[in-house]
Amino acid sequence: MKGHLALFGLVSAMLLVAFGTGIWAPSNLAEWYTSWQKAVFEPICHQAPGRSLWFNGAPMAVCERCFGLYSGLWLGVAVGFILHLPIRVLRIVGTLACLALLADVIWGGLPVLRVGTGLWVGWIGGLLLVSWREPSVSTP
């Protein structure tokens, strides 16, 4: 249980940082370019302002798809100990989610599709992460 709470805390902190400068106070594009939040995600996200959701006057520190991934990861970890799906089911649904995300990347979808496919993949990833951390229960 301690491990789950620590994981949930880490994912929650990551999601808060993803909101960028706008989470702390009203912000603008100039502050966003020099923010520490942008610097944290710079190696793993293209952070194009035109493909980012805006929060409180500034783009988030991540693009739409990455925000969906991190939000989904948070959701998956949050409900991972309540919703017990077999790993086999999660792998199948996760494969479908990854194919949907890949199709969205190739054909360039709408912002709602970028967030949605990211959310789906992140949610399954969070559930898988929690499922793998749980010790398996063996029945005699």
Residue 139 lies in a domain: no
Please report the pLDDT score of residue 1 as a whole number.
Answer: 65
Residue 140 lies in a domain: no
Residue 104 lies in a domain: yes
Residue 67 lies in a domain: yes
Residue 98 lies in a domain: yes
Question: Which structural domain range is residue 76 located in?
Answer: 2-133
How far is it, in rounded angstroms, from Cα 103 to Cα 118?
12
Q: Has residue 59 got a pLDDT over 60?
A: yes
Domain count, the chain: 1
Residue 95 lies in a domain: yes
Tell me the per-residue pLDDT of 22-42, one tens digit each, with 9 for 90 and over: 787 767 778 888 888 889 999
Residue 20 lies in a domain: yes
User: What is the average pLDDT across 80-94?
Assistant: 86
Residue 68 lies in a domain: yes
How far is it, in rounded angstroms, from Cα 93 to Cα 20?
31
Residue labelled with tokens 């949605």: 116
pTM for this structure? 0.84
Tell me the per-residue pLDDT of 89-138, one tens digit each, with 9 for 90 and over: 888 999 999 999 999 889 877 899 999 999 999 999 999 888 875 555 44
All residues at 6 or more sequence positions from 31 whose CB lies less than 8 Å from its CB, including other chains:
21, 58
